[in-house]
Chain A
């Protein structure tokens, strides 16, 4: 049994799908259907969407919730629990640096409320769409498919603000993590090298360990590459979407608007002011140095 999880033994019979039955075309059923004009590989009936195989279902043996399969697929590495630990403290200051203080404040307030609700029996929920009647009172008609789509879009706009914020926060997290990792890795490599030179004659056990470490590193590299690709993809996606999402890169670069110079300068001065303010007042400084009063 490894650390990866409980090993599940599974034994299969000789022919769990009973292909000896399904491949046998001499059977009465097969012969009868063919006599009636059915052809192998085709469906029955008069419609063109007829199924050709029976409905297949996964057997669920545990109590894991819906979507756990999806989550496994998108997990970045084994240390990624999907939650971000400890970075919440910086979000307020980062938000201020980015110039959308109100938004971040509101979000953090919401989180605080959540935490209050979440006692022993707490559960997190995110608000989704509102289910309403499928009936359009105005036209006295059932809402058509298009109508439904527009409704959905509208609700998306409503939640856009929330989503945007999430995107920002996430991207930042990603970048930070990456940087941290790179630094760590470099350090480790250096260390390893020196160690190797010094302790070559030492115990075999250590060598084994190192080997394992090497493997780990390789895996990490692979994963990183994948991640980078993913990030690129994400960016592309976000570029495509009409609602221009604010990324960190954009934030750091001075905004070169195509508008008039006066407005450009005023925007820039506002931006600088905000940045300065964020490091000037006492509260912000406290936050930066992680001094908490409570």
Chain B
């Protein structure tokens, strides 16, 4: 009886959300038909190369002997000539000189901190040092090396595969979000920190690994911070697991303290001195000053390329244009050498990113001044990308940084001053090949007074909803006493908990629900994951899948400065009157239509001012997500397009996910008010939505001089009240316009229900 009561009670609770029902069903199915996970047998080579070598008791001499032999001890094949060419270069790296010292410390301790300046070769060499000592292939384990960025993980893996004379994806592989290039042979795995965290969610002890290297720990990404907290616990449970924390800055003490006074090894980089110049007074316009400085360098300084740091794509493209224009004028007027300007930012297509490595232009005039290459970059070039030949750095002192305000729930990228550490890092970029100069477009006083020492770690600047979900999945229940290196603000934590509670990923007791467990498997924001899981109930999971994929890639609409009007007109041809989410759906359908294929996808995207790269990424993301859904028995369904309810179903499914991001039009006033947080917002001008709608859901809240909501779709308030009754519990609402309207809506819904009942 009591059991039945409990069941009833449970059922009552489950009535709340469609997503919860789907998740419960999926979990039940899983329990009934458990999927056999066949653990892949490792394919290893053991030709006896390592016989007589004792694990954790090797010396540099033994390893070098093996390295210089003629057979690859990991594959048994003969080394190629290229291998030996690279080997001589490797032996020349600063880390190599301290291999013995490294091994001694590595043997003596479980956790060690390694500080190597840029150019020391730590990212490529240390994991190989470990391989020759740990011999993971003989013990059926793996060595992992994490990177904060996927590009870095991929390129470093490629390089190390070459250095070890193996195939990429064989003994050396990489694993990044939406791409896995490893096999059963893999013993060294480069991966993003986020991927290792995902693996830890399944295997709390990370039992596959015998050594984990956290590289670029000084960058303090969200995932690295969580991993450090986690590994600190795991090392207690697994005394055989070795950890190396690698950092590029002097901030090593902090890591040492955090890891119970772990021993430190420091290796110098190969850097030349860099002279630093400041402006005598502050600049009224840093962009203008930056351009002038670059041109002055070109006109007066010796040979050497220039690296200019700016904040964002638009600013960079603008500066590139201006520098190229004025530079050409300088060639004519001042008899300067030729100048070539390259932009560099994250969303730039890879083939254009590669262009920065082209040599500086040659001066064809006999005895003329040398040509020069100018790279205008975001802070990608600060750490993750190394461009040789840069001698002059121009640093205005700003970068775009993510900040999160838990009170009004806004996460945005804002232009803000950099830290002293990154200013020094930027300056250091000038000294890679020979002594260089760094021009700072601010005063020395500003450097000392306005800049903070270190950038705030990402954990203090982000929405933690997905992090909290991950932590819960990692089996950490006490979030208050988790050993964060820098604990997040309590209000940020609260917001995350509340969001997850409203999404029903966390129960009122704070435990993970089946929906939460399922949502954590998606590499998505919990809100999007829940929306996706709940979508089959609205007969439109295929459509929602498309929308989610498009929301997780950079903007698909291209709006070049030269053809803004035309681009906007074409965008309107895809427009759906009810909103931007639906417009995205239209774009994707058109992209996959026969028409587009007949024209050729590249050409079609160019004609329609769409980003080919974003759309193709979206399709690969979509197929990834689709696979996850299939694996967990989540229905993939779609309403017939002719059905009058087609669009309403999609909008309902959107409302079921985005119910926490709703804005209501202010009565008798232009502008909108966000529901519950009561912030004044405007709809971003680049929307397809006409202004008549009263209730809208939004994807993004952007902070600028005005507060904008971006990517909006019109919804009905009845749906909100029906689909998220917990969030729209009117007793929690502050008095005001929103509450009044919602009360009216609730009355109307109730009246409808009553008439329906009486009819029956």
Name A residues whose Cβ lies closer than 8 Å to a Cβ of B: 11, 13-22, 27-30, 32-33, 35-38, 42-47, 49-61, 63-71, 82-83, 117, 121-135, 137, 141-143
| Contact across chains for A27 and B490 when beta carbons are under 8 A apart | no
**B42 partner residues in chain A, CB cutoff 8 A:** none
Residue ID in chain B nearest A117 by CB atoms: B300
Instruction: From B275, B285, B678, give the contact of A63 (CB < 8 A).
Output: B285
State the CA gap A32–B506 with chains docked (Å). Answer: 11
B283 touches A64 (CB 8 A): yes
Contact B494 A13 (CB under 8 A): no
A-B contact pairs, 12 of them (CB 8 A): A28-B508, A29-B494, A38-B490, A45-B482, A66-B451, A67-B282, A67-B450, A70-B445, A126-B444, A131-B275, A131-B424, A143-B250
B493→A15 contact, CB < 8 A: no
A22 touches B273 (CB 8 A): no
Provide the bound-state CA to CA distance between A49 and B678, in Å.
32
Chain B hits for A131, CB < 8 A: 273-276, 424, 427-428, 431, 438
Looking at chain A's contact residues, is the secondary structure mostly helix, strand, loop, or mixed?
Answer: loop
Chain B residues near A29: list those with CB within 8 A: 493-498, 501
How many whole Å from A218's CB to the nearest CB in chain B? 29
Q: Are B442 and A67 in contact (CB under 8 A)?
A: yes
CA distance A275 to B562 in the complex (A): 67
Choose from B117, B489, B678, B734 the contact partner of A51 (Cβ within 8 Å): B489
- Does B635 sit at the interface, judged by CB under 8 A? no
Q: How far is the CA of A21 from the CA of B673 in the complex (A)?
A: 15
Q: Which residues of A contact B299 (CB under 8 A)?
A: 121
Please tell me if the beta carbons of B488 and A44 are within 8 angstroms of each other in the complex.
yes
A30 to B396, CA, bound (A): 41
Establish whether residues A46 and B483, one from each chain, have CB atoms under 8 Å apart when the complex forms.
yes
Contact between chains at B283 and A130 (CB < 8 Å): no
Q: How far is the CA of A205 from the CA of B194 in the complex (A)?
A: 73
CB <8 Å contact, B450 and A69:
yes
A21-B677, A64-B285, A66-B397 are known contacts. Are A124 and B279 too (CB-CB below 8 A)?
Answer: yes
How far, in whole Å, are A137 and B416 apart by their CA atoms in the complex?
A: 36
Inter-subunit contact B490/A59 (CB<8 Å): no
User: Which residues does chain B contribute within 8 Å of A132, judged by CB atoms?
Assistant: 271, 273-274
**Which 9 A-B residue pairs are closest in the complex by CB-CB distance?**
A67-B446, A29-B494, A45-B487, A65-B283, A135-B268, A66-B442, A125-B277, A44-B487, A66-B397
Residues of B within 8 A of A (CB): 115, 117, 250, 252, 264, 266-269, 271, 273-289, 291-293, 295-296, 299-300, 326, 396-398, 401, 403-408, 414-417, 424, 427-428, 431, 438-447, 449-451, 456, 460-461, 478-498, 501, 508, 510, 673, 676-680, 703-705, 734
Tell me the total A-B contact number using a CB cutoff of 8 A: 259
Distance of B381 from chain A, by nearest CB (Å): 17
Taking CB atoms, residues of chain B closer than 8 Å to A128 are 276-278, 440, 444, 447
Which one, A27, A35, A51, A121, contacts B498 given CB within 8 A? A27
Residues of A contacting B439 in the complex (Cβ-Cβ under 8 angstroms): 123, 125
Given contacts A50-B484, A66-B398, A131-B431, 14 further A-B contacts (CB under 8 A): A16-B408, A17-B407, A18-B678, A29-B494, A45-B483, A51-B487, A63-B285, A66-B451, A126-B444, A128-B444, A130-B274, A131-B428, A137-B268, A142-B250
Shortest B423–chain A CB gap in Å is 10
Min Cβ gap A237→B in Å is 15
Inter-chain contact A36/B446, CB cutoff 8 Å = no
Residue numbers in B under 8 Å from A44 (CB-CB): 479-482, 484, 487-488, 490, 493
* A137 CA to B271 CA, complexed, in Å: 13
For the complex, give the distance between the alpha carbons of A194 and B39 in Å.
103
Question: Would B678 and A14 count as touching, CB distance under 8 A?
Answer: yes
Question: In the bound complex, do residue B488 and residue A122 qualify as a contact, i.e. CB atoms below 8 Å apart?
Answer: no
How distant is B315 from chain A, measured CB to nearest CB, in Å? 9
Q: Could you say which residues of chain B place their CB within 8 Å of the CB of A21?
A: 407, 676-677
* A37 and B396 contact, Cβ closer than 8 Å, known pairs A65-B285, A121-B292: no
Establish whether residues A68 and B276, one from each chain, have CB atoms under 8 Å apart when the complex forms.
Answer: no
